[in-house]
């Protein structure tokens, strides 16, 4: 099933923060991990990801640094700050409340349809 992009847009920041809570990552790595863990539901493009990362960094939610592995080019890694962890907690609580409310409405509709039959 193809999911409406507007549903995905609101959750992207939270998903990025969650990935970085697990450990430092570089941009392309985040794109790959999100796609893999979501069975390709989240297929971010660099043009979508990097403005989000830069905004979070500007707001003090992330810090970045360059790291070069032996024989590879340098990559820019992102690290979640204490401020970013607090934002993740807030965003996670908001998401849980939102999905709880949506599910209540959807279940109610289903119950109503069952009663009407």
Q: Any residues with CB less than 8 A from the CB of 56 and at least 6 apart, and which?
A: 13, 16, 17, 62, 84
The reported pLDDT for the residue numbered 71 is: 87
- pLDDT value of position 1: 64
* Tokens matching residue 87: 């934002």
Cα separation, 56 vs 62, whole angstroms? 6
- The confidence score (pLDDT) of residue 112 equals 54
State the pLDDT at residue 70: 86
pLDDT given for residue 72 in this prediction: 85
pTM of the model: 0.82
Could you list the mean pLDDT of each consecutive 10-residue stretch along the chain, which spans 117 residues?
66 95 97 95 91 96 94 93 98 92 83 57
**Domains within the chain, CATH numbers bracketed:** 5-116 (1.10.10.10)
pLDDT of residue 80: 98
């Amino acid at each position: 099933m193809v999911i409406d992009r507007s549903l995905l847009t609101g959750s992207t920041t939270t998903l990025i923060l969650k990935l970085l809570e697990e450990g430092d990552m570089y941009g392309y790595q985040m794109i790959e991990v999100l796609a893999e863990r979501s069975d390709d539901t989240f297929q971010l493009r660099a043009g979508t990801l990097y403005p989000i990362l830069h905004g979070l960094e500007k707001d003090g939610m992330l810090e970045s640094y360059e790291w070069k592995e032996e024989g590879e080019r340098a990559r820019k890694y992102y690290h979640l700050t204490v401020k970013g962890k607090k934002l993740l907690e807030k965003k996670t609580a908001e998401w849980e409340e939102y999905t709880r409310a949506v599910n209540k409405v959807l279940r109610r509709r289903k119950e109503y349809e069952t009663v009407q039959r």
